[in-house]
Chain A
Amino acid sequence: MGQNVSKIKVGGLKILEEGAGVVSSSPKGAQRLRTGICSPLTRNRINLTFLAHVAGAFGAEAYSVFCTELAAGMTSFTLVKSNSAASSRVSLHAPVCIISLYPHDKRADIKGAFLRALAQARVMVLSLASSPSAISAVISAHAKERAVARLFNFFEFPSYATPEEFYAIQPPPEALVREVVAAYQEKVIKIYHLIEQTDLDLWSFSIPSSTLLENLGAALMALGRQGLKIPFLVALPGPEDRFICTFSTASHQNEEVVRLVEEHIPVIPPERQTPAAALFFHGPHFGDRYGIADTLMKALEQVHVEPLALSCTVSSISVMLKEENLASAMEVLSKTFADQSKEGMIG
């Protein structure tokens, strides 16, 4: 997208700074997301500010990226390392920041433009994840300014016309971090809404890291021009210096997805898991409490359901499942979380 292309109007940008990122992978089955990451962090009252997970993509390993506040980075890394199988790979990256752009309205072109902006800024992305309203990228803190500058080439924001105006109104980084450091826990975690979406395909691509953003961004923009919606997206480091990208689309659009993506990403054929279903937990304030992802994973384990992919960012959690597991997952989760919308009889 260059200077002659209209900018996309969106709502805003959020940056959560002063973070640490941990990348983890392990042979499938050797490390579960809960026992290896979520539970150790919960026991130590460490809050996750970001979590992306893909289980068994391409039949091999499970991959996760999570973020905490910077001060908890080394502790988190040590906890995960000590709870991982010997053959697992765990690495710490700090300092990082999480840039979130919203709302995406599930539009593939907005997500694609976000990625292309980061690519053109030559930013190395540690992970990407979507929430119901935002698309987030974990990047090196040192790359923040050029990432933001480039985003202003692609997007128009109502509250700030330039990066300078954006920075001028930002609260101090430590203030934002304070908002997400665990302050309290609820016995029964309240959520605003638990939404399910069925009849989806879950696509997984393994692509060279160096071409991830530009090509993936172009592919998503092409999907967006065809009107395709992407309710879920996660990308994180995979095997052999490649990136795994996983996203969902409506299952009846599978041929279009294959055609458009293969035009832009010269990769091994994508994996398609279908039928898949998505669950979206809308906040509140998942960012300021620990143990929520752990609670979710424990509940799913009770009914022997393992997520295909998971995203925790902004203030919501998105989960991809095999559609055959949806009913049992909904039953256990509706007992585990207090869904304010159901109590209000809004469906």
Chain B
Amino acid sequence: MSKKYVLVVDDDPDLVETVTMLLESKGFEVGKAYDAFEAEAAIKKRQPDVLILDVMMPRKSGYELCKELKENKWTKDIPVVLLTAVGEAVPSTTYTHYEGMSVEAEDYIAKPVDANTLVEAVQKLL
């Protein structure tokens, strides 16, 4: 049986490395992109089974990319997990769980990502 393909998108390369290692250790095939535009190009080449998307990225946020993907008939069914460092420890933010869910991402996980939580979130969407 072929491996499920997960695309990880984050402008922090060390985080991409870590999440890739976690997912590969669980048997997933993993693609990497370091910003939203690179992610768009990667998705055009090959649609992932799940997209893990950092919210706070320069140029175009994960929030914006998620919205665009969900409004496009070719990509609207790609399950999206939003990752964000936004949480109670950070004093102010415009990216909230509520806003994440309002753009119809399938899930939202706060960083640092618990390994079990991430894998369960991905498996639930497959």
Contact = CB atoms under 8 A, between A and B. Distances in A.
Interface of A: 11-12, 14, 100, 102-103, 131-134, 158-159, 169-171, 175, 183-184, 186, 190-193, 282-285, 288, 314-316, 340-341, 343-347
Most chain A CB within a 10 A radius of its CB, from B18, B90, B117: B18
B113 to A, nearest CB: 7
Nearest to B120: A344
Interface residues of B, number: 35
A134 B112 contact: no
B5 interface: no
A68 B114 CA distance: 29
A191 B112 CA distance: 7
Nearest to A343: B114
Contact of B25 (A134, A186, A343, A347): A347
Contacts of A192: 15, 18-19, 22, 112-113, 115
A179 to B, nearest CB: 8
A208 B111 CA distance: 43
A285 B35 CA distance: 17
A178 to B, nearest CB: 12
Contact of A103 (B11, B17, B91, B115): B17
B3 interface: no
A314 B90 CA distance: 20
B17 A169 contact: no
Contact of B91 (A102, A132, A183, A288): A183
B32 interface: yes
Contact of B13 (A133, A190, A344): A133
B125 interface: no
A contact patch SS: loop
Nearest to B87: A184
A147 to B, nearest CB: 18
A340 B15 CA distance: 13
A183 B34 contact: no
B112 A284 contact: yes
Interface string B63-105: 0000000000000000000000100011100000000000000
A123 B22 CA distance: 37
A344 B112 contact: no
Contacts of A133: 13-14, 16-17
Nearest to A289: B89
A267 B123 CA distance: 54
B114 to A, nearest CB: 5
Given A169-B59, A183-B91, A343-B114, A12 B15 contact: no
Given A184-B89, A282-B15, 13 more contacts: A11-B13, A11-B32, A12-B38, A103-B13, A103-B16, A131-B14, A158-B38, A159-B34, A170-B58, A193-B21, A283-B18, A284-B15, A343-B115
B115 A346 contact: yes
Interface in B4-54: 11-19, 21-22, 25-26, 32-35, 37-38, 41
A12 B58 contact: no
Given A12-B13, A133-B14, A159-B38, A285 B85 contact: yes
Contacts of A288: 85
7 contacts: A133-B13, A171-B58, A184-B91, A192-B18, A283-B18, A314-B14, A340-B115
A344 B12 contact: no
Contact of B18 (A12, A159, A193): A193
Given A159-B37, A183-B91, A284-B112, A315 B22 contact: no
A191 B18 CA distance: 10
B7 to A, nearest CB: 13
A159 B38 CA distance: 6
A192 B113 CA distance: 7
Given A158-B38, A346-B26, A282 B17 contact: yes
